[in-house]
Amino acid sequence: MRFLPFGFGVAALLVAAVHAIPIEGVYVPHTPPRARSPPSRTIVQALAPRAAPSSNVNWATIMRPYEPNNDTTLIDCPTFNAAVASANYPVPNPGQCHDFREYLTSQGAISTTQEAAMFLAQLLWESNGLRNKEEIGCANNACPGRYVTDLDYSSIETVDGKKTNVTQQYYGRGYIQLTWATNYLAASKDIFGDDRLWRNPSLVATDEVTAWRTTFWFWKKNVHGTSGVQSRHFGAATNAINGALECTGSDYSKAQARYDLYTKVLAIVSPDATPNPSGCYPVDTVALNASADSSK
């Protein structure tokens, strides 16, 4: 408590004490509240473990203040926009460029323009040019039964006035689609230190920052360190993302479409680089040599 000037009686002291309120551990006389700027947070603080979330908390509204300021110098917004447009997609909004640059290195561990081009090409393909954050075909009906495991989270909720057992659905969400409960839980613990995305997987699609952070989490966890990726083999990245279907399965034409998209993006982001399809696609050495000669 602050000291009052001499001359005040005991009664005055009691009145002052009654009307004093605590502010950050110090008692001061009551004054009208003032607007306060939100505290700044570092990326380390942002990723620090937190208590398990309550089902009544609106996480989408409290995660945004945790954004750091780590815009990459690898790619600027004009280059980002030109690369997206080169693949015949609409120019993205400024917020998408900001989030891409914000987390490219800080959470994706991407430190070269060629890996940045690989990442951008893959997420453009996965998200239909940054326009979809939910698996096509599942956004309207949640694809019940498609991604079912014993780990799926269930809770009792009131639906139309009746208590109902509701099981979360873990279909693809995010710019590079996150699927299965085990991946939602792993991403949630690594990014936030709790299980909020497992309990509420829709956040990956409805909260823009979360959509980006889980996308970069997936890349760093499953693609960045894969053999061949740091050697700039685009096929290795495709194989890490969807190899069972596109590299060794029945959807090879989709793998080829990814690579064609990558060649356009790479020409904008890293124009002196030569695309390399190794890791998923049959390597056409004649085409590669011709491409290498044309880049000299």
Q: Which residues are tagged catalytic? A: 126
The 3-state secondary structure of 121-149, one letter per residue: HHHHHHHCCCCCCECCCCCCCCCCCCCCC
Instruction: Please state the separation of Cα 284 from the chain's center in Å.
Output: 35
Tokens for 41, please give them.
Answer: 């947070």
Give, in order, the Cα–Cα distances in Å from 24 to each of 28, 89, 144, 187: 10, 51, 49, 34
Instruction: Name residue, tokens 């495991």.
Output: 149
Tokens for 67, please give them.
Answer: 């954004």
Burial tier of 16 (Cβ tally within 10 Å: 0-12, 13-18, 19+): middle
128-162 CB burial, b ≥16 within 10 A, e <16? ebbebbbbeebeeebbeebbeeeebbeeeeeeeee
Distance CA 43, CA 29 (A): 36
